[in-house]
Structure 1
């Protein structure tokens, strides 16, 4: 399928027409498409690009650091050169990313299996390194003269989503490092000897006393710790007091350390980079948040009781929290009826998401649209995003993160429903 022009550039042969509605099947491929769909000012151009890509009108795709390129044909066979730019990581960011990958061997093993592990992306983000593109990161350039994403650059992005599904190293090459160079660098770092820390030098007591009237300089500001600290051990000979559960206390202390680390990291960011705070959680919602990483089944059972849920409902709620926090949990458990402008925007989004001959049959009920011929559903959140759901044993399960486009969300739900459930 691929040819190699050195490790710094890869050329992928033109792909055949895409059948069905979805272009991406992996979570990282869908994240790539969300970066396109969230940033495009003209949804009509995105729709046009999807149609062009589905028709197989995107030529061979060249991938190199910071840029992807292809020749894209219009319906009248007019050819246009389309480029999409993505910022490369700096040398310092690559050093931090590779050091982190060496410490977590599972990341490298997953990449070699052509998988993009979520923890790799999360760990990189905690180091200030964004691997997947975000809003506005995909910069379009096309000889058709459009200043924003046109149908040609959108078609190129849809085609690259299919390539990313097959090989996440394509994304790393766009970020500036080819597969062979990256793996060699990882191997070198893994084999590098560990340097012993030098012995601290002491100071003669008499000299220190004689210089006691000279104030030493203030210490440097402490750096942000790389990860949350560990709470003190509760392993003592004293038995716990009445009503005190050591497992629950240990879990709450660990979660408090994680939350304190997150709050400190947010406080050190510029105001424009700080995420919106999660405020006003009910006791039942907070129980779900705590249950996400609960280490003990007995503790999980108590959290289920405290949140008014049975164990299966709690498992579905924690899955929703992992995928989208409080907003995803609200969409899972709350059914509401859009009205006025909200309903009009929802209907417009549904009408424009598909070509007329490809529009699926959907049954509407409140904020939920269910596919008539598939165990798939999309739900509209109060923030205007669409959430994919699949039917499993007569229950609706959140199938993935939210999307701005209902077609992307429904495709994610259908792909998830088609996979064998374990």
Structure 2
């Protein structure tokens, strides 16, 4: 990367050709490309732009507040000056965004690590600040004469997705603030927040001291001294045990009526293991920065427990308690191993996508094999897939991919008349189909 004379403009050297299928690895890089693909009126221009970017025909990219510029060359070597304009944030929008980021230390730490926390983008959107571009937020300009996205502006956007993967501050520069200016603003706000919090705590201690003095008749100088002393320090965190505790054995000569001793012993051991896991997470240094996981339903927790149970009697009891046959529970356990609760949902949730979700899925399917259909040298042709609700089946191949509600694709294979989970999820349908070991 080369810094220009303007502190708010950066020039990134031309990137090498990008073989393979994907341009973006991060969620914000994918969001950037989704805005391009949803905004363009002509999908063929976008597909051509992807091939141009992949060939390495995009020159050095200049990034400044409100716009991108690069020289993009056609196959015959003709050079085109290409610009894509993006709306800058107003002062009020920057104030709201910086206030949100400074209020959470985890947001600042993530930005310094070149990460964009999805929670920051969600909080900003709730406050009326769209950090990531959406439909219609790109204003393409190219000297080739096209008034909408052309292959040159699309290629520039695809190349910028690779830059965003490496440095999300590129996005914030486009919105109007350079990295140093942004970090200085966050530091100033964090300092102000800390001072305000300290003043509030001092007022609270003084108010509490005055109440104590009035109730117990304490002298004013004693109450003031108590307020100055503050609260005692918190005790240190407990040391993590080496392993979960062992519950007592329930071996008895006479087994109580209606009580499955083996099942109770297993549940006690499973509870000890879960408590150990939760404690390990609680004392981890980054615990406060992790999002809280969604609680499991009883049916989901039964599958999790079954995966841990070695006793066939316990596994049978858990299957019966959830209304599953033994065979169905084994499938559920297999799905859980590939993706926990979302993997289980892909197996059992035969849902119908709404129109918007279905449109995005169709676009992903079309884009996944676009290069092969365009003759870019790939050997594999686009497969013929037939859809039923959120499941696409490859005719005659015994393969299927399922779209989860979370937006990821899950591979399945046909065995003995049943669809079997065959791997973890993938962000796009082609990768899911290719990841199937049966394929």
**Inter-partner Cα distance in structure 1 for 2:408 and 2:60:** 33
Residue 145 of structure 1 pairs with residue 166 of structure 2 = no
In the alignment, structure 1 segments of 5+ residues that lack a partner are 200-290, 322-328, 337-341, 401-407
**Inter-partner Cα distance in structure 1 for 2:17 and 2:89:** 33
Partner of residue 114, structure 2: 114
How has the CA–CA distance of structure 1 residues 350 and 48 changed in structure 2, closer, same or farther, with 3 Å as cutoff? Answer: same
Partner of residue 89, structure 1: 89
**Inter-partner Cα distance in structure 1 for 2:148 and 2:49:** 13
CA contact under 8 A between 2:33 and 2:158: conserved in structure 1?
yes
CA contact under 8 A between 1:377 and 1:388: conserved in structure 2?
no
**Inter-partner Cα distance in structure 2 for 1:163 and 1:126:** 27
**Inter-partner Cα distance in structure 1 for 2:137 and 2:52:** 22
Residue 19 of structure 1 pairs with residue 42 of structure 2 = no
CA contact under 8 A between 1:363 and 1:369: conserved in structure 2?
no
How has the CA–CA distance of structure 1 residues 346 and 70 changed in structure 2, closer, same or farther, with 3 Å as cutoff? Answer: closer
Residue 129 of structure 1 pairs with residue 129 of structure 2 = yes
Alignment of 1:68-217 (within 5 A): 68-192=68-192, 193-194=195-196
CA contact under 8 A between 2:403 and 2:410: conserved in structure 1?
no
CA contact under 8 A between 2:346 and 2:403: conserved in structure 1?
no
**Inter-partner Cα distance in structure 2 for 1:39 and 1:331:** 34
Aligned length, in residue pairs = 297
CA contact under 8 A between 1:7 and 1:180: conserved in structure 2?
no
Partner of residue 294, structure 2: 293
CA distances 1:85-125 after superposition (whole Å, capped 9, x unpaired):
11111111111111111111111111111112211211212
Partner of residue 409, structure 2: 388
Higher RCO by CA contacts (8 Å cutoff, separation 6 or greater): 1
CA distances 1:239-280 after superposition (whole Å, capped 9, x unpaired):
xxxxxxxxxxxxxxxxxxxxxxxxxxxxxxxxxxxxxxxxxx
How has the CA–CA distance of structure 1 residues 111 and 71 changed in structure 2, closer, same or farther, with 3 Å as cutoff? Answer: same
CA distances 1:272-331 after superposition (whole Å, capped 9, x unpaired):
xxxxxxxxxxxxxxxxxxx9722x78695379977978577579585379xxxxxxx689
Partner of residue 319, structure 1: 342
Is the partner of 2:196 in helix, strand or coil? coil
Is the partner of 1:358 in helix, strand or coil? coil
In the alignment, structure 2 segments of 5+ residues that lack a partner are 205-291, 305-320, 353-358, 414-419
User: What TM-score does the superposition give when structure 1 sets the normalisation length?
Assistant: 0.59
**Inter-partner Cα distance in structure 2 for 1:95 and 1:307:** 54
**Inter-partner Cα distance in structure 1 for 2:334 and 2:402:** 21
**Inter-partner Cα distance in structure 2 for 1:331 and 1:89:** 43
Partner of residue 356, structure 2: none
Partner of residue 60, structure 1: 60
Residue 399 of structure 1 pairs with residue 426 of structure 2 = yes
CA distances 1:41-95 after superposition (whole Å, capped 9, x unpaired):
1111111111111111101100011111101111111111111111111111111
Is the partner of 2:188 in helix, strand or coil? helix
Is the partner of 2:181 in helix, strand or coil? helix
CA distances 1:354-380 after superposition (whole Å, capped 9, x unpaired):
43222635554533367x9xxx97557
Is the partner of 2:3 in helix, strand or coil? strand
**Inter-partner Cα distance in structure 2 for 1:345 and 1:32:** 15
Partner of residue 350, structure 2: 334
Pairwise CA distance, 1:148: 0.7
User: What TM-score does the superposition give when structure 2 sets the normalisation length?
Assistant: 0.57
**Inter-partner Cα distance in structure 1 for 2:11 and 2:393:** 40
How has the CA–CA distance of structure 1 residues 306 and 120 changed in structure 2, closer, same or farther, with 3 Å as cutoff? Answer: farther
CA contact under 8 A between 2:365 and 2:429: conserved in structure 1?
no
How has the CA–CA distance of structure 1 residues 348 and 300 changed in structure 2, closer, same or farther, with 3 Å as cutoff? Answer: closer
Alignment of 1:162-311 (within 5 A): 162-192=162-192, 193-194=195-196, 293-294=294-295, 301=301, 310=332
CA contact under 8 A between 2:369 and 2:381: conserved in structure 1?
no
How has the CA–CA distance of structure 1 residues 320 and 134 changed in structure 2, closer, same or farther, with 3 Å as cutoff? Answer: farther
How has the CA–CA distance of structure 1 residues 38 and 318 changed in structure 2, closer, same or farther, with 3 Å as cutoff? Answer: farther
**Inter-partner Cα distance in structure 2 for 1:85 and 1:307:** 56
**Inter-partner Cα distance in structure 1 for 2:323 and 2:115:** 35
How has the CA–CA distance of structure 1 residues 332 and 137 changed in structure 2, closer, same or farther, with 3 Å as cutoff? Answer: farther
**Greater C-alpha radius of gyration:** 2
CA contact under 8 A between 1:11 and 1:63: conserved in structure 2?
yes
How has the CA–CA distance of structure 1 residues 55 and 80 changed in structure 2, closer, same or farther, with 3 Å as cutoff? Answer: same
